Amino acid sequence: MGASNRNTRVAVGISAVAFTLFLIAFVTPYWLVTDGRLSDPRFTNLGLWEVCFNNFQDIHRFYETRFKGCMWVFEEEYYIIHDFLLPGFYIAVQVFATLCFVMCLIALPLTLSFLRTSRDDDRYVFLLLTIGSCQILGSLFGFIAVVVFGAKGDSRDWMPHWQNNDMGWSFALGVVGAVFLLPAGVLYMVEARRERYKHLNEISTREAASEYGGGDDYYTQQVPAQIQQQPQQQQQPTIQDYYNPQPSRPRRPQPGHRTPTAPPAVVGGGIQTDI
């Protein structure tokens, strides 16, 4: 299994949470909502792809059309207010949020393939690097999207009653999801780096073993042979042992045989005897 250690398990868990949160934020229309203090607000809520009005009429144009209900922001009925409804920053938020979502979609099947890949597989490090890169890029794109929307979303020159508009829970989920993608991607990259160095160390060890004896099989065959030769060398004497001089030692006197003694010393012209 791919997630065989703590780093990969934590990375997979954080990735799953981040993808789920950002997916919910991507499809729900509650990035900008009214705070509920107005009894009859003309604007109720807005997401990346959907906006809800309540008898909204653009005061800057002399159109009698009033918009009510929730519709897709690119709906044909909204073409007369596209310049108001789709400012430049809002389109930029849609683009960067879409890029983040695409990075998550690319990383999803790769993560499933990674979970079924063994650590000894040649694709293991490649999958780690690819998933980590996708999630880091996705985190960068998502972070840009939420920062731009947070700075411009509730400005006074966009939606009506701007002082009663707040960031919704979809925006909060988008922030958390975009931020969580970064540590998940970093963990994947760290694990890929560790596995690469481990693989390089194994290759260098094998090359060194092959240069100094032909690999592990050589040492496996040589060690028992050396163990068998050592007792034989200790038990069998060599030819030189017969010709080496033996150390001399005094002989034991035989029974009844007297050991010759030195003659008595002459002192002063006489013979000195010990009585």
* CATH number of the domain residue 35 falls in: 1.20.140.150
For 232-242, how does the pLDDT look when each residue is reduced to its tens digit (9 = 90+)? 545 555 555 55
- Answer whether residue 247 shows pLDDT above 50: yes
Q: To the nearest whole number, what is the mean pLDDT of the chain?
A: 78
In this structure, is residue 37 part of a structural domain? yes
Does 195 fall in a domain?
A: yes
- Whether residue 224 has pLDDT greater than 60: no
CB crowding 97-133: b at 16 or more within 10 Å, else e: bebbbebbebbeebbeebeebeeeeeebbebbbbbbb
Residue 42, domain member (yes or no) = yes
pLDDT at 176 over 90: yes
Residue 33 lies in a domain: yes
**Listed ranges 68-72, 142-146, 222-226; the one with the highest mean pLDDT:** 142-146
Segments forming the whole domain that contains residue 191: 6-202
Which residue in 245, 31, 13 sits closest to 152, CA to CA? 31
Q: Does 142 fall in a domain?
A: yes
Q: Is 29 a member of any domain?
A: yes
**pLDDT greater at residue 263 or residue 60:** 60
Q: How many domains does the chain have?
A: 1
In this prediction, residue 102 carries a pLDDT of 95
Residue 263 lies in a domain: no
pLDDT per residue over 15-42, tens digit each?
Answer: 999 999 999 999 999 999 988 787 888 8
249 CB-near residues (< 8 Å, 6+ apart): none
The percentage of the chain sitting over the pLDDT mark of 70, rounded to a whole number, equals: 68
Which of 51-65, 107-121, 208-222 comes out lowest in average pLDDT?
208-222
Q: Has residue 93 been placed in a domain?
A: yes
Q: What is the pLDDT of residue 229?
A: 55
